[in-house]
Each structure stands twice: as structure tokens, then as C-alpha cells.
Amino acid sequence: MDVVVALLALFFVLCVAAGVVLTVKATRAVKRGVERTVADTRKTVQETTLKARRAVQPGAAGDIAGLRLTLRSSVDSTRRELEHAVEGDPGLRESIGLLDRLHEYARQVDGELRHLEREPDKSRVAERLPELRSRAERIAQSANSLRWAAQDRARHTAEDEDGLDALTTQIDLETGALRHWTPAAEQESAEAAGSGKRSGERSGKDARAGDGAGRSPKQQAALSSGGTAEGQDAFQALLAKIEKLRKPESA
């Protein structure tokens, strides 16, 4: 009895522990989902604001908004491209590491540009903006280069010319064979007709061989030249009469 109670208590403790673990995991998953949603929403709002500033505000304010938007779009687009491509090509993991390092520089430049947006001193803005623009363009160009390299790699992997040519040739051969098909009934009839023809030829040869047996060479030669047996006998009788008629004249 004590053993049963102990087992039940152990089972109850295990169920409670499993429930706690599942609850914690579910809570963390929901928290991550909420954080991801909030981050995406915040990013969308920021990008929309930057686009509006770039279009509406002239001068340095519009340039700063354009630089921040260029940084965000280049880095984010490259990250999406690499994360999608790395599922089929693990060799791109190193590229993601390089992009992470590049992202840190992009965040620094974006922070400096954000501070420069609130700078009231126009001369300070004019002094700092060219240097920040150069850094932002270099970062954007590096991110774009990574993205374009990943796209070229995926395209060259997909474009296997030798394999495509071989597959195309095989498909053409198979297509030709499928177009020139013969129904099973017609094929069997053709085979039966060919077999009957061959049997008839053999029977004809055997019959001609039997008719020629027991005849003289002259008769067989006459038969082979197309004459019948009765005609050849009459011809031989005519020759014999002609011979008899010639003998008295020669005497």
C-alpha cells in the first residue's frame, strides 16, 4: 500500500513539474511573439516616419532621414535574404556573422544621425553630415554586396547547365517515344501476320523441294525455269520424235 501511495505521489509531482515547464515555455513563446510584433510595429512606424520626412522636409533634415532609411532597408533586406538562403546553403552562416558585425556599425551611424536630427546648430549639422553620409553609404554598399553575392550564389546553384541539358535531351527522347506508340492489339496482329508469312514461305519451299525430288536434272531445270511437269514430259516426247526423224536422213 505504501508503495502505491509513493508511486501516485511521484506521478503527481511529475505531472505538476511537466505542467510548470510547459507553462513557462508557452509564456516565453508568447512573450517572444509579442516582442517580435512590437518590434515589427515600431520598425514599420519608424520607416513610415522617415519616408515622410524625406519627402516633406527639405535640406539637411530630409537628407538625414534618407540616410537612415537607406541604412535600415539595406541591412534588413540583406538579413532576410541570407536567413532565407541559409536553410538550403549552410555555407552562408559566415555571411550572417559578417552582417551582424556590419549591423553594429549601422546602429552606431543611425544613432549619430538621430542625434544630428535634433541638433539645433545648423553649422554643426553641416559639419557632421558629410562624414556620416560617407559611412552610411559604405555600410549600405557592403550590405548590398552581401545580398547580391548570396543571390548570385543561389542562381548559379540552380542553373546547372550540364544537368539541364542532359535532362532536356532525355525528355525529348521520351517524348518522341511516347508519340510513336503502337496499340497492343495492333502489335499482336502484326506479329501474328509476320509469323504466318514466315510459315507460308517455309511450307512453299518444302513443297517445291518435294516436287523436285526424283526428277532428272533437265526436268528440275525446266521446273526451276517456270514450266510444269506435264509440259516438260510432252516437250521431251517431241524431242525424241525429232531425233528419230533426223536419224534416217543422216544415214
The amino acid sitting at 105 is Y
Residue 30 and residue 32: Cα distance in Å, rounded? 5
Cell of 170: 532525355
The amino acid sitting at 239 is L
Residue 80 and residue 44: Cα distance in Å, rounded? 15
| pLDDT value of residue 249 | 47
For residue 137, name the pLDDT band (cuts at 50, 70, 90): very high
Query: Could you say which DSSP state residue 39 is in?
Result: H
pTM above 0.85, yes or no: no
Percent of the chain at pLDDT exceeding 90: 16
Residues 6+ apart with CB under 8 A from 149: 95
Cell of 119: 541638433
Whether 3 shows a pLDDT value over 50: the answer reads yes
